[in-house]
Amino acid sequence: MPDEAPSTAQIWRTAWPIIVANVAVPLLGLTDTAILGRTGEIEDLGAIALGSLVFNFVYWTFGFLRMGTTGLVARAHGASDHGEVRLIVGRALLLGFGIGLLLLVVQRPIELLAVELLDASADVETRMLKYVRIRLWGAPAALASFAVTGTLIGLRQSKALLTVQLLMNGFNLILDLVFAVGLHWGIAGIGAGTAVAEWLAVLIGLSLTWRVLPQSSSTPLSWIRLIDLGVLRTTLVIHSDIMLRTLLLLLGFAWFAQQGARFGDVTLASNHVLLQFISFSAFFLDGIAFAAESFVGHAAGAGQRRRLEAVVRRSTRLAFAIATALASILLAVGPFAVHWLTDLSEVAELSRSNLPFAASYVMVAVFAFQLDGVFIGATRSRDMRNASLVSVALFWVLGTLLIPPYENHGLWLAFIGYAAARAVTLGVLYPRLKASVGASENAPDRG
């Protein structure tokens, strides 16, 4: 009997721990900043801000380790190929640890690039490099954790994921206090505390993952199958497509920031404030999209097209309801939240007047988030890459047309259009994705 399509309630039960885990992620940076803000100097705060930026960029670049693993694990699990699930996890862990070790080897070029791009004072630069050099020792663990996260989402073990993230935050807080405050190591202690916390978190994550991995006596875990060159090549193609998609997404946001800077410091600061609201909304929208990845992957792996269609329909309805609530809250509470984020009157006034643009972006972007989750779950990475290329090009065209006459308002309209382009381009490719999944009769849809 084929699996019945999950209800909206089941999708929500999978999504909410992911949302809480997402919200917990930036608390790591807040913890580091708060401790240095109490015990360090101005240069330390500048150094931690720039150092965190370096790691955010590096780790986001390798986010394919999480996304690719989720889709592959979910599809294999949906097909009841439990031996392949274990092999996928093993390959992802090897790749994560390997890339982390490679980052240690190429540490010097990373430092030189960071110094070149982040134009800081000599004192801030020195402290930033100290932080980067120490925290980089946690890179193998941090990137292996991406594989752990992808596996737990793919297996719909979102509560285990939440446990790992909360423990990571707890370890980070305790170790930062011990190293930076207790031992007076300052910013070096912050880097060491985060690195050690990353290793502790990945060890716990591996333990939890091992417990929930489906067992298979028919397909033993062997090194020969683990490093099969043909399978590795296919896996790397999927990962490289997702990495290109991520870099294109970064390019789009970077172009938005660069264009905003042309209109002066007040506009640049105001756009940054509004992007914080958008980033906060993304924690919720990502949670639903991550859940969709798992359910879509299971349906695709089982060859059940109607179950896939039901998952897409129900998860999108849920995400749209949440996006509507978020946009409404943003319009209602945004003016007060702006005042909390900045007391600069010009920046606050401009931010309040542009809140409808940020709310509109949330309402439009929800469809891009959801379709991203659908295509990741179905491991249609090439389609994601191609859609991203088209979307970035359309963003540039829209910006070229709208910015000259409407300035920053034109930039926001183009930015909203960019979110719409991401959704439309993936939407055009969605029928082909559905057609690639088994017969529509396989999974009964009960509404």
What integer pLDDT is reported at residue 442 of this predicted model?
40
Task: Quote the tokens at residue 339.
Answer: 């005042």
Task: Quote the tokens at residue 313.
Answer: 């329909």
349-389 pLDDT, tens digit each: 999 999 999 999 999 999 999 999 999 999 999 999 999 99
Q: What is the pTM of this model?
A: 0.89
- Of 217, 209, 245, 183, which Cα lies nearest the Cα of 371? 245
What letter would DSSP give residue 182?
Answer: I
What integer pLDDT is reported at residue 50 of this predicted model?
83
Which class for 166: exposed (0-12), middle (13-18), buried (19 or more C-beta within 10 A)? middle
Q: How many CB atoms lie within 10 A of CB 21?
A: 26
243-281 pLDDT, tens digit each: 999 999 989 988 998 898 888 888 888 888 898 899 899
DSSP string spanning 355-372? HHHHHHHHHHHHHHHHHH
Q: Could you give the CA distance from residue 20 to residue 7 in angstroms, rounded to a whole number?
A: 21
Task: Quote the tokens at residue 144.
Answer: 């292996």
- Of 204, 129, 144, 125, which Cα lies nearest the Cα of 169? 204
What integer pLDDT is reported at residue 154 of this predicted model?
96
What integer pLDDT is reported at residue 222 of this predicted model?
67
What integer pLDDT is reported at residue 258 of this predicted model?
86
Residues of the chain with confidence (pLDDT) below 50: 1-2, 439-447
Which class for 447: exposed (0-12), middle (13-18), buried (19 or more C-beta within 10 A)? exposed
Q: Could you give the CA distance from residue 52 to residue 55 in angstroms, rounded to a whole number?
A: 5
Phi/psi-derived region of residue 45, left when phi > 0, alpha when psi is between -120 and 50, beta in every other case: alpha
CA distances (Å), origin 141, targets 152, 175, 381: 16, 16, 25
- Of 188, 92, 96, which Cα lies nearest the Cα of 140? 96
What integer pLDDT is reported at residue 29 of this predicted model?
72
Angle at 433 between CA 432 and CA 436, to 5 degrees: 90
Task: Quote the tokens at residue 38.
Answer: 């109490």
What integer pLDDT is reported at residue 146 of this predicted model?
96
Q: Could you give the CA distance from residue 141 to residue 70 in angstroms, rounded to a whole number?
A: 18
